[in-house]
Chains A and B, each alone.
Chain A
Amino acid sequence: MSARMIEHCPTGIAGLDEITSGGLPAGRTTLISGGPGCGKTLFGATFLVNGARVGEPGVFIAFEEREDEIIANAASLGYDLQQLVDDGLIEIDYVQVNRDQIYQTGDFDLAALFIRLDLAIRTSGAKRVFIDTLEILFAGLDDTVALRSELRRLFGWLGERGVTSIVTAERGDTSLTRHGFEEYVSDCVILLDHRVTDQLATRRLRIVKFRGSAHGLNEYPYLIDDAGISVIPITSFDLSYAASTEIISTGIADLDAMFEPGGLFRGTTMMVSGGSGTGKTSFAASVARAACARGERASYFAFEESVSQIVRNMGSIGVDLTTAIDDGNLQIVAGRPTQIGLEHHLSVLHRHVERVRPSVVIMDPITDFEALGSHDDIKAMLVRMVDFLKQRGITSVFTSLTSRYDTEESSVSSLIDTWIQLSNEERDGRLVRAMYVRKSRGMAHSERVRVLELDRNGITLRRVDDETERKDAIQDGQPAGRG
């Protein structure tokens, strides 16, 4: 096999196969290194389960956990490992190395381990092998030199067997792995990192080495939950997405009329910013409902209100969401953003979009992310979020509570295609909601301030009475007749 033409063995882990251009190097050994709790074992278990599902049996050599523990842990990801064991598709061999029972007296080798592995591979016809984790040998046996030479032999032996394997290792303080396994594994090394910052857990994956294949150098967030593992290759997105020329309605006729083409470009990002009670949610909900009315799907991520609150409040201003929800076109995902970290938000969004495939995504409000990281962190996440949504041609609406994001200098503004500004203003002794289009890329738009009226009949954007405007202008000491 030419070094350039490495074949790939798909892991079936969402995202990982993308960033490795198809999977792990087939017939080779991959090293996964990481600290405790980063999910090494679950990566390996997933690799075996997904192999079994495509007819490639696997062997699980477990040093750390007993068979029943492994089966129970895999069940937390929704895998029925017991069934696969019963079907002969996965062979689990728990290798116990108990230091208290072992006394060392002279030279030895690991021939018995090789024999066990060989037997398990032959019994199951395995194409995949997962060994978790060889560190235990170092804890149980003293002769580090002998162990190292045996492990070198093991990796070579696995290669000769033509099986695709994953071995795990504990991350070292100063090195990639505590016992330097990376020296022996030359084909693929993956580093998992599990950090807790400000009580928020972030999991990231990095491909340190991948011989003979292009791979992303970035850190990728990954997520472990009851739907398994997914790696989010969001940073691999570039600006190559096609700009749509299709015009879609915002669901507010008066707003559509403010844009020269009569609506927004599909796949663009709209931000609606304003203080509390200025009507941001009504804009966002209208865009979502309009999509559903066209027979498309919309996903509404609500960070401050419950589903029933949103449905009730929108119903009171003539934006009926119940039909769209009942039809299954509208999904409202409500939850406090502080429950999960920034990366996790991206992961959740990514997974949701993959599953639901909405044409419109609402984030209400993005300012709630402020608690989750520095301004730069949040901006970086929003960039990735916007890139990801645009890549999929998804139209998005972000609401923003008046904040630092609202300043023109704010770097976030560069992400936004259409920016609507709302405010509460006093006019002729009464409080009115005012709105104007701050910018809209690629299209002419009205620059006039409108008065936003929300009532049972829906959302109206009334032109400000010319008379009023003239009076205002004169009061400001400016000549009349503009606007």
Chain B
Amino acid sequence: MRSRMGSRQAEGDHDRTPEGSEPAGADTVVDEPTGEVKEWQLRLYVAGETARSTAALANLRRICEDHLAGKYSIEVVDLLVRPQLAKGEQIVAIPTLVRRLPEPVRKIIGDLSDRDRVLIGLDLRPKD
């Protein structure tokens, strides 16, 4: 229910969702045109199109393509457009990546530039 929100497809252009309008996505936004529900549901919270947010999204895409190809969807939520969504998932820092599925929910903050730490954070690589 929290996911009925200002999300948009990660693929495609990066135009901001106009304020007040409903975004194109439904409950689940996937990066595949088929709309298939993916095993990995990731959501990236940003605040405007900053260099850090852009970098975080690019880093995330690369990591997903390398490790989760075909199994993931990325949803980007811009809190400048949808400020009310920050409360629901207890977002404080920007950027914050939320692994919504598989459970348990995990949060990874920062620009995702440290690939190893992102993999550990996503539980794609064990801590050692």
Which residues between 88 and 124 of chain B lie within 8 Å of chain A, taking CB atoms?
Answer: 90-96, 105-114, 117-118, 120-121
- Chain B interface: which size bin? 20 to 34
Residues of A in contact, count (CB < 8 Å)? 24
> Which A-chain residue is minimally distant from B84 (CB atoms)?
A119
CA distance A306 to B88 in the complex (A): 56
CA distance A118 to B87 in the complex (A): 12
CA distance A105 to B86 in the complex (A): 20
B109 lies within 8 A of A141 (CB)? yes
**Min CB distance, B34 to chain A, in Å?**
30
In the complex, A473 has a CB within 8 A of chain B: no
**Min CB distance, A97 to chain B, in Å?**
6
In the complex, B83 has a CB within 8 A of chain A: yes
CA distance A367 to B58 in the complex (A): 77
A137 lies within 8 A of B112 (CB)? no
**Contact partners of B79 in chain A: CB under 8 A:** 111-112, 115
Return the contact of B110 from the options A97, A101, A107 (Cβ within 8 A). A107
> Which B-chain residue is minimally distant from A150 (CB atoms)?
B93
> Which B-chain residue is minimally distant from A147 (CB atoms)?
B93
Given A95-B90, A112-B93: A105 and B47 interface contact (C-beta under 8 Å): no
CA distance A415 to B108 in the complex (A): 66
Given A115-B86, A116-B83: A105 and B92 interface contact (C-beta under 8 Å): no
B117 lies within 8 A of A105 (CB)? yes
In the complex, A54 has a CB within 8 A of chain B: no
**Min CB distance, B76 to chain A, in Å?**
14
In the complex, A247 has a CB within 8 A of chain B: no
In the complex, B52 has a CB within 8 A of chain A: yes
In the complex, A109 has a CB within 8 A of chain B: yes
A111 lies within 8 A of B84 (CB)? no
In the complex, B26 has a CB within 8 A of chain A: no
Binary interface encoding of chain A residues 95-126 relative to chain B, with 1 for a CB under 8 A from any of its CBs, else 0: 11110011111111111110110110000000
Q: Which of B's residues lie within 8 Å of A, judged by CB?
A: 45, 47-48, 52, 56, 79-80, 83-84, 86-87, 90-96, 105-114, 117-118, 120-121
For this complex, 26 residue pairs linking A to B, each with C-beta atoms less than 8 Å apart, are: A96-B90, A97-B92, A103-B107, A103-B117, A105-B108, A105-B111, A105-B113, A106-B56, A107-B52, A108-B93, A108-B95, A108-B96, A108-B109, A109-B93, A110-B92, A110-B94, A111-B47, A111-B79, A111-B94, A112-B45, A112-B79, A112-B94, A112-B96, A113-B92, A115-B86, A116-B87
